[in-house]
Structure 1
Amino acid sequence: MAQELGLEIGLLQPFRNLEGQENQAAEFDRLEAKFDLMGALGTDLLLVGSARVMKDGVEFSRIADDLARAAELAANRDIRLAYLALPWAQRITHDSDARKIVDAVGQSNFGLALNSYFSLAGGRRPADLRDLDGGKIFHVQLSDAPRLDTDIRMLKRQFGMLPGLGRLNLNGFVKVLARAGYQGAWSIARVGEQGQATSAEQLTRDGYRALVSLLDEASGSEPGISLPAPGLPARSRVRGIEFIEFAVDETTHKQLVAVLESMCFRMERRHIAKSVELLRQGAINIVVNSDESGYARSAFANHGPCVCDMGIRVDDSKLAVERATALGTELYSQPVGTGELDIPAIRGVGGSVVHFIDERSNLHRVWDIEFEPVQKTAAIPPAGLRRIDHVAQTMADDEMRSWLLYYATTFDMRKSEIVSVADPSGIIHSQPVESPEGELRLNLNGAAGQKTFAATFLADRIGAGVQHIAFLTDDIFETSATLDGQDFARLEVSENYYEDLRVRYALDPALVDRMRAGNILYERLGDAEYFQIYSRPIFNGFFFEIVERRAGYQGYGATNASMRLAAQLKCQRKA
Structure 2
Amino acid sequence: MTADRESLGALPNPLGLLGVEFIEYATARPQALGQALERMGFKPVARHRSREVLLYRQGDMNIIVNAHQGEGAGTTLPAPGDAPVLSAIAFRVGNAAAAYRRVLELGAWAVHTEVQVMELNIPAIHGVGSSRIYFVDRHREFSIYDVDFVPIPTVDPRPPAQHGLHLFGLVQYIGLDRLADWTAFYGALFGFAELPPGQNFGVLTQGRILASPCGTLYWQLIEPLIDALDADPGEQLQRVAFGTGDVLATVAALRAQGVDFVESPTGVHSEVRGALTRAEAGGASFELVLDPR
Report how far residue 373 of structure 1 moved.
1.3
Aligned residue in 2 for 1:292: 69
CA distance in 2: counterparts of 1:465 and 1:256, whole angstroms: 19
Number of the residue aligned with 1:372:
150
Aligned-residue offset at 1:444: 1.0
> Using the alignment, how far apart are the partners of 1:295 and 1:339 within structure 2?
15
Indicate the structure whose relative CO is greater, using CA pairs within 8 Å and at least 6 residues apart.
Answer: 2
**1:282–1:384: 8 Å Cα contact kept in structure 2?**
no
Cα distance between partner residues in 1 of 2:32 and 2:139: 37
* C-alpha separation in 2, matches of 1:414 and 1:277: 33
1:277 aligns with 2:48: no
Please point out which of 9, 33, 44 is paired with 1:256. 33
Distance 1:361 1:376, change over 3 A: closer
- What residue in structure 1 maps to residue 7 of structure 2? none
Residue 339 (str. 1) matches residue 118 (str. 2) = yes
> Given the alignment of the two structures, is residue 326 of structure 1 paired with residue 76 of structure 2, yes or no?
no
Shift in CA distance, 437/341, structure 1 to aligned 2, threshold 3 Å: closer
- Structure 2 distance, partners of 1:410, 1:321, is 10
2:221 corresponding residue in structure 1: 444
Selected match of 2:250 from 479, 492, 504: 479
In structure 1, list runs of 5 or more residues that go unmatched: 1-220, 222-233, 422-427, 499-518, 523-530, 553-575
Aligned counterparts of 2:30 and 2:108: Cα–Cα separation in 1? 31
Evaluate the alpha carbon distance shift between residue 377 and residue 439 of structure 1 in structure 2; reply closer, same or farther with a 3 A threshold: closer
* Letter of the 1:441 counterpart: Y
Q: Judging changes above 3 Å, is the alpha-carbon distance between structure 1 residues 437 and 311 closer, same or farther for their aligned structure 2 residues?
A: closer
Deviation at 1:442, TM superposition (A): 0.4
**Per-residue CA shift, 1:202-226, capped at 9, x if unaligned?**
xxxxxxxxxxxxxxxxxxx9xxxxx
Q: 1:321 Cα deviation (Å)?
A: 1.3
Cα separation, 2, equivalents of 1:327 and 1:399? 19
Which structure shows the bigger proportion of residues in helix conformation?
A: 1
Q: CA deviation at 1:284?
A: 0.9
For residues 450 and 485 of structure 1, the distance between their equivalents in structure 2, rounded to whole angstroms, comes to 38
Question: How do 1:375-524 residues align onto structure 2 when only pairs under 5 Å count?
Answer: 375-376=153-154, 383-418=162-197, 430-449=207-226, 451=228, 463-494=234-265, 520-522=270-272
Q: Could you say what secondary structure the match of 1:533 adopts?
A: strand
Residue type of the partner of 1:310?
A: I
SS in 1 for 2:226: coil
One-letter amino acid of the counterpart of residue 331, structure 1:
A
* Number of aligned residues: 274
- Match in the other structure for 1:228: none
CA distance in 1, matches of 2:93, 2:60: 16
Counterpart Cα distance in 1 of 2:67 and 2:100? 27
Cα distance in 2 between the residues matched to 1:278 and 1:366: 12
One-letter identity of the residue aligned with 1:485? A
The answer as to whether partners of 1:520 and 1:532 remain within 8 angstroms in 2 is yes
State the Cα distance separating 1:342 from its structure 2 match.
0.7
Q: Distance in 1 between matches of 2:174 and 2:281?
A: 16
Listed one character per residue, the Cα deviations across residues 510-536 of structure 1 (whole Å, up to 9, x for unaligned) are xxxxxxxxx5323xxxxxxxx312101
> Which runs of structure 2 are paired with 1:188-207 in the superposition (5 Å)?
none
**Residues 328/497 of structure 1: CA separation in 2 closer, same or farther (3 Å cut):** closer
For 1:373, give the aligned amino acid: P
1:270 and 1:277 in contact (8 A); partners too: yes
SS of the equivalent of 2:207 reads strand
Identity %: 27
Assess if the C-alpha contact under 8 Å between 1:271 and 1:371 holds in 2: yes
Alpha-carbon RMSD: 3.4
Separation (CA, whole Å) in 2 of partners of 1:261 and 1:420:
32
Which of structures 1 and 2 has the bigger CA Rg?
1
Aligned 8 A contact 1:242 1:284 in 2 = yes
User: Mind listing any 5+ residue stretches in structure 2 that lack a counterpart?
Assistant: 1-11
Per the alignment, residue 545 of structure 1 pairs with 287
SS at match of 1:546: strand
Aligned partner letter, 2:274: Q
SS at match of 1:393: strand
Give the Cα–Cα distance (whole angstroms) in 2 for the partners of residues 450 and 310 of structure 1: 31
Q: Which residue of 2 aligns with 1:265?
A: 42
Q: Is the 8 A contact 2:168 2:241 kept in 1?
A: yes
Q: 1:361 to 1:540 in 2, by over 3 A?
A: closer
TM-score by length of 1: 0.43
